[in-house]
Structure 1
Amino acid sequence: MKKIIIATIALSAITFTGCNKWLDVKPQAQTTKDELFSTQKGFRDALTGAYIHLKSNNTYGAAMMWSNIEYMARNWDVVSATNTGITGLANGVYTDATARGWLDNTYADMYKVVADVNSILEKIDVNKSVFTDNNYALIKGEALALRAFSHFDAIRLYGPMPDNPGTAAILPYVKEVSHDIILPVPYAEFTQAILADLDAAEALLKDTDPITKYSIAELNPGSNSSTPSVVDNYYLYRQIRMNYYAVLALKARVYLWLAPLNTANKANASKYAQMVIDAKDRLGMPTFRLGRESDRVAGDNTMSPEHLMALSIYTLDNIANSSFGEQGSLVRNDFNVQDGFYYLNNLFPVAERTSDIRWKEMWAYKTSAGNTSYVMYKKFIQRANAPIQQVPLLRLSEMYLILTECATTKEAAEGYYRIYCAQKGIPFVNGFNANNWETDRKNKMIREYVREFYAEGQTFFTYKRFNVVALPANWTATYYTGSVGRYIVPKPDREINYHNN
């Protein structure tokens, strides 16, 4: 049986010498690990390696953001039926060899991030003396949270339906650097391990993360003349790291996923979502705000003021143009054609198009020969005078949707949703349908997740969480058909070694 070997970026770059070293008493890989983790810089470099793996094409640099997983949600048209991999993903036929290979690679790269952070967590406590200031707490807290983040998306994609997970062992929750095959554990044990890591990360970051004190502008040199003198440059740009508020937001997301098994989890989801919304800087100003029309006008189509965690991709302009631009393959073809396709014609009703900032100037026909019937999406295409090369992984807007979904009364739900709608340009005059407000809320929440997080990999997870079989009638239900077989993606058949040397 073949094995996939997972290697850490920081360690795989080390060049090994000739065969005469094989009689060394201590394995060379162990020596290099000890050297790497003998300094604070070594721990920082290893954590950087984990973030680099998050940006791989198999994870959040493409497949888990705007590419494969968006085909799985039918958010892109299949332009060529001869591309069996894309067709397989779009139809939920994961037995196609190409599609299966892509999904296996995503699984492996998710666990590469886990291997990276486990190498840190293995050494960080015994080498605590090498750290200065708050670096120990920051690095350990981020490592724990990244481990939880990667495992959570693994179970969202490859795990069971959240409303009926069963008791069988499903996936491994990997907490150690090991050459041994890590055995899978049941859903309940797996999800409790996620929450335990997040609880520990929250405790470590609560009183040490600079983002709990300074504003985003202050922590981004050049964006504000009043940037304070920070002890260590490593403390800057916290909104593109797994910071304290990102941990809280991830806890809100996890608890919402677990809500079908325990209604108390909705209260926990609301609690953590509200903590993020209530975040204030040292001057008492909100740390984050919802994106709005002025951001779009300024060219900030990803609404960066609401990014709770993001990846900095300095080549995003080139990537976006090649993926979404004139020659890009990620397209829609239902712009002004009333063909029943749910997204462009029904997802944004005509009455909302003049005000909704997720619609206005976000879509445009291609103009090059042979492509004029296709529409490009402009969320990640950068404007020359205002490049913001960040890919959001957690956003403030999700916290408002969580509060809306978890509210126990119609009035409370409408209160949260109205705040959200006011910033996004969504008409919401009469509230939720009084005759069946909970069903109306559910349908609106599904729609908002699609509209808000289009090309961010969240649509498929939203459909799976709600176990969507068919879209609401006004979206044309025949366009998308969900099933358990579509939602439970098969994990690799091959064994995986979760080690990093």
Structure 2
Amino acid sequence: MKRLTITTILFGALAFSSCNKYLDVTPRAQTTKDQLFSTEKGFRDALTGAYIQMKSNNTYGGGLMWSTIEYMARNWDVSGSSIAITNLTNANYNDAQVRGMLDNTYADLYKVIASVNSILERIDGQQSVFTGNNYALIKGEALALRAFNHFDVLRMFGPMPDNPGTSTLLPYVTEVTHDIITPVAYQEFAKNILADLDAAEALMKDKDPILSYSLAELNPVANSSTPPVVADNFYMYRQIRLNYYAVLALKARVYMYLAATDPANKAKAAQYAQQVIDAKDRTGRATFRLGRESDRVAGDYLMSPEHIAALSVYNLETIATSTFGETGSLVRTDFNVQDGFYYLNNLFPVAERTSDVRWKEMWVYKVTNTSYVMYRKFIQKPSAPVLQVPLLRLSEMYLILTECAATKEAAETWYRAYCSEKGIPFPSGFNAAAWETDRKNKMIREYVREFYGEGQTFFTYKRYNVATLPASWTYSYYTGNPARYVVPKPDREINYNNK
């Protein structure tokens, strides 16, 4: 048997070894690591390196954002695609090329985990090298990153959340080691995620600059003569890091997922979602707001005012143009058929298109081939580019509160607030005779519409254990089952080493 070995010195590399044998770590490498973690700057650089790793093509720079995971949700057309992409879309996870894609995603998630574990292994013994609140911020972000990446391991490779069982399945890695980590059961894995998030929340509470300054103050305008409010740029651009509010938002997402087996977790999900929505800066203004028509008009299709956490991608314009543009492969082909059967026409009913900001100018015919439709969410407006991809958004917090509300009236209050900003008609509320079913169907559709191209559709379907989507908007387009939703983890074991 071969073992898949992650050997990373900050950024990581993938290598294969013979049975029971790993790549040796040289004394020079260990010395380099000792030197790296001898200064505060070294810890900062290592944390930055972990964020850079998250932009891997296999994870949030592609695979878990707009490509692999979106094909798994059947969000893209596969006509003309490779056999591997067709097999992926059809959940043929035994295909060798598909297996390679999924194994690489698994490995790259654990590479980030290995890197932050390297930070966490050293940071408590080096507190004396830190100034200000940087020890708390760096450790808090590292814990949050460990939880974030583990959670997507669980969502992708873990069991069905409504019936997870008690078998040991996945490793929750908290140490830097050459040893193979013993897998744990779903319940323990989830408990470890929440423990890391609890610790991150405690560390960053009252210390994160996002609690003291507005996002405008923390995002200085280029070439401005006004000096930034904080001299250290490490404190800036907190919405593109796993900041304090991102930790709360991630807790809301995790508890929402765990509610599939324990409905009591809905109250916790709602609690944290509410805290994020209620966040105020020192001027009393909301820290985050929902994206709206004015953002769309300005060309901010990514609705950046609602980003709670994101990844900075300096070349996003180039990536988006080649991926979604005229020559891009991520397209749909059913746009111009108005017979009530095709996917986009049911996802965005004609009656809603004049106002829904997720539709207007987002889906457009290609100039060179009007049989295809391009998706423009990530396409940049040259005059005002938004070079970041969202990891957590305020929209999700509103949907969580809508879903968790105990009464029809409370659910409608949250959903109306959301709809009013997004331009979604909601005149008569949820169906009076079966409002919970109506709410469920609307929530599934909103997750698809809101987070199209952001990797959340597949996880939403899995959380709801969707067999078929509501006939009113998709007919037989999509079918799901545990065989589709539970992605097999790699056959090869992994060494979670970052020495």
What band does the TM-score fall into relative to the shorter chain? over 0.9
Match of 2:298 in 1: 298
Match of 2:3 in 1: 3
Q: Displacement of 1:343 after TM fit? A: 3.1
For 2:402 and 2:338, how far apart are their aligned partners in 1?
31
The DSSP-based 3-state class of the residue aligned with 2:176 is: coil
Match of 2:183 in 1: 184
Contact kept? 1:252, 1:270, Cα under 8 Å: yes
Match of 2:422 in 1: 424
1:390 aligns with 2:388: yes
Closer, same or farther in 2 for the Cα pair 1:228/1:486, shift >3 Å? same
Q: Displacement of 1:338 after TM fit? A: 2.8
Cα offsets for 1:414-443 (capped at 9, x unmatched): 000000000000000100000000000000
Q: Displacement of 1:233 after TM fit? A: 1.4
Cα offsets for 1:446-480 (capped at 9, x unmatched): 00000000000000000000000001011233110
1:498 aligns with 2:487: no
The DSSP-based 3-state class of the residue aligned with 1:10 is: coil
Contact kept? 1:148, 1:194, Cα under 8 Å: yes
Match of 2:328 in 1: 328
Contact kept? 1:249, 1:272, Cα under 8 Å: yes
Q: Which amino acid aligns with 1:430?
A: S
Q: Within 5 A, what are the aligned runs for 1:166-205?
A: 166-205=165-204
Contact kept? 1:84, 1:98, Cα under 8 Å: no
Q: Displacement of 1:28 after TM fit? A: 2.7
Q: Which amino acid aligns with 2:255?
A: Y
Structure 1 unmatched ranges of 5 or more: 14-23
The DSSP-based 3-state class of the residue aligned with 1:394 is: strand
The DSSP-based 3-state class of the residue aligned with 1:181 is: coil
Closer, same or farther in 2 for the Cα pair 1:413/1:496, shift >3 Å? same
Q: Say which of 487, 490, 496 aligns to 1:489.
A: 487
Q: Displacement of 1:26 after TM fit? A: 8.8
Q: Which amino acid aligns with 2:111?
A: K
For 1:72 and 1:419, how far apart are their aligned partners in 2?
31
1:107 aligns with 2:106: yes
Q: Displacement of 1:207 after TM fit? A: 1.0
Match of 1:410 in 2: 408
Structure 1 stretches of 4+ with a deviation exceeding 6 A read 223-227
**TM-score of the superposition, structure 2-length normalised?**
0.95
Match of 1:350 in 2: 350
Q: Which amino acid aligns with 1:359?
A: W
Q: Which amino acid aligns with 1:123?
A: R
Q: Within 5 A, what are the aligned runs for 1:42-81?
A: 42-80=42-80
Q: Displacement of 1:226 after TM fit? A: 6.5
Report % sequence identity.
74
Match of 1:18 in 2: none
For 2:357 and 2:26, how far apart are their aligned partners in 1?
59
Closer, same or farther in 2 for the Cα pair 1:105/1:340, shift >3 Å? farther
Q: Which amino acid aligns with 1:477?
A: Y
Closer, same or farther in 2 for the Cα pair 1:372/1:11, shift >3 Å? closer
Note the aligned Cα RMSD (angstroms). 1.6
Q: Displacement of 1:5 after TM fit? A: 2.2
Q: Displacement of 1:103 after TM fit? A: 0.3
Match of 1:145 in 2: 144
Closer, same or farther in 2 for the Cα pair 1:327/1:68, shift >3 Å? same
For 1:226 and 1:416, how far apart are their aligned partners in 2?
39
For 2:393 and 2:11, how far apart are their aligned partners in 1?
32
Q: Which amino acid aligns with 1:354?
A: T
Closer, same or farther in 2 for the Cα pair 1:200/1:293, shift >3 Å? same
Q: Within 5 A, what are the aligned runs for 1:197-216?
A: 197-216=196-215
Q: Which amino acid aligns with 1:469?
A: A
Q: Displacement of 1:79 after TM fit? A: 2.1
The DSSP-based 3-state class of the residue aligned with 1:310 is: strand
Contact kept? 2:412, 2:429, Cα under 8 Å: yes
